[in-house]
């Protein structure tokens, strides 16, 4: 039985989509069967980040009752990694019922070792529907105090809602002299620090190339940090993640 992991944050733009793509590919490289899901229904961009822009059937078609989930699963060019893409046009967005997300995503754990769910930021209904499709959650924050406290609040709510909070990723570290250091961030967050991902221009370059950094520049500091995140997550056994609730 596979694991369903949501990627969540308080503020937008912290690196959830980047983390979803790189974590999925890193787990794929380690030999796990992975399905990355674009559950950011209104601002979808996981497909672009992963280099797929021509999918004919998307998660929106499934949520509108016009396709089965199997029809929306695509093989990618990355080893062992599948993707459920989302549509970007408004016509599709308004026809999709976001409340159906957990019902269509949860059964995927029968088929994959890891299902990684890219969610919208915050705690609005769209974000909750996406995040609650998982059983475990990885929070993504930047090293700024308002970002950390917002992400902490999201962690508290998701824990109360029954998700196992595995911990958080401190992303884009080293951009500014005023960055909150990892140990202080961990104290504030009150959940384990899973990885520090440095600010790395290779991450953005990779996005422009439509190929996440673990594939584009595997030797870059950013890529190495995402590989370490994947290893850390595989070391947290399913049982432990359940008791951490
Ligand atoms: N470690 C990093 N170093 C440099 N740039 C990064 C890093 N992580 C993310 N970025 C860049 O930051 C931008 C925002 O990242 P991303 O789209 O993953 O955030 P998000 O949390 O998914 O945003 P949203 O809330 O809008 O969905 C992107 O341009 C991405 O390339
Ligand atoms: Mg995103």
Give the tens place of pLDDT for each residue, 189-237: 999 999 999 999 999 999 988 899 999 999 999 999 999 999 999 999 7
Q: Which CATH architecture has domain 3-243?
A: 3-Layer(aba) Sandwich (3.40)
Q: Is the CB of 207 under 6 A from ligand 1?
A: yes
Q: Is the CB of 204 under 6 A from ligand 1?
A: yes
Q: Please identify, by atom number, the ligand 1 atom nearest to the C-alpha of residue 14.
A: 21
Q: What's the CA-to-centroid distance between 12 and ligand 1, angstroms?
A: 9
Sort 48 into a burial class: Cβ within 10 Å, 0-12 / 13-18 / 19+: middle
- The residue nearest atom 15 of ligand 1, judged by CA position, is 15
pLDDT at 241: 53
Three-state DSSP state, 82: strand
Domain boundary assignment for the chain: 3-243
For the cut 80, the answer to whether the pLDDT of residue 65 exceeds it is yes
From first CA to last CA, the distance across the chain in angstroms is 19
Q: Can you name the residues that pair with 171 across neighbouring β-strands? A: 197
The predicted model gives 44-48 an average pLDDT of 93
pLDDT at 175: 95
Q: Which ligand is the nearest neighbour of the Cα of 13? A: 1
pLDDT at 186: 97
Query: Which of 49, 121, 203 to probe ligand 1 with, by most ligand atoms within 8 A of CB?
Result: 203
Can you read off the two tokens belonging to residue 159? 């824990």
- The residue nearest atom 11 of ligand 1, judged by CA position, is 204
pLDDT at 238: 56
Q: Phi-psi bin for 32: left (phi > 0), alpha (psi -120 to 50), beta? A: beta
């Amino acid at each position: 039985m596979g694991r369903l992991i949501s990627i969540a944050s308080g503020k937008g733009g912290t690196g959830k989509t980047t983390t979803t793509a790189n974590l999925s590919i890193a787990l794929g490289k380690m030999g796990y069967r992975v399905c990355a899901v674009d559950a950011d229904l209104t601002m979808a961009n996981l497909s672009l980040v992963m280099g797929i822009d021509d999918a004919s059937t998307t998660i929106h078609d499934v949520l509108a009752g016009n396709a089965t989930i199997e029809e929306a699963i695509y093989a990618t060019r990355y080893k062992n990694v599948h993707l459920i893409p989302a549509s970007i046009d408004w016509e599709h967005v308004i026809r999709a019922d976001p409340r159906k997300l957990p019902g269509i995503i949860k059964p995927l754990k029968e088929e994959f070792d890891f299902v990684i769910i890219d969610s919208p930021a915050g705690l609005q209904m769209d974000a909750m529907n996406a995040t609650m499709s998982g059983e475990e959650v990885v929070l993504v924050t930047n090293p700024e105090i308002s970002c950390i406290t917002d992400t902490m609040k999201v962690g508290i709510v998701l824990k109360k809602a029954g998700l196992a909070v595995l911990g958080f990723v401190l992303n884009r570290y080293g951009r500014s002299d005023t960055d909150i250091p990892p140990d202080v961030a961990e104290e504030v967050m009150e959940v384990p620090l899973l990885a520090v991902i440095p600010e790395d221009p290779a991450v953005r370059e990779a996005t422009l190339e439509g190929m996440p950094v673990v594939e584009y520049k595997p030797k870059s500091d950013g890529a190495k940090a995402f590989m370490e995140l994947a290893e850390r997550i595989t070391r947290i056994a399913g049982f432990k993640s359940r008791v951490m609730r």
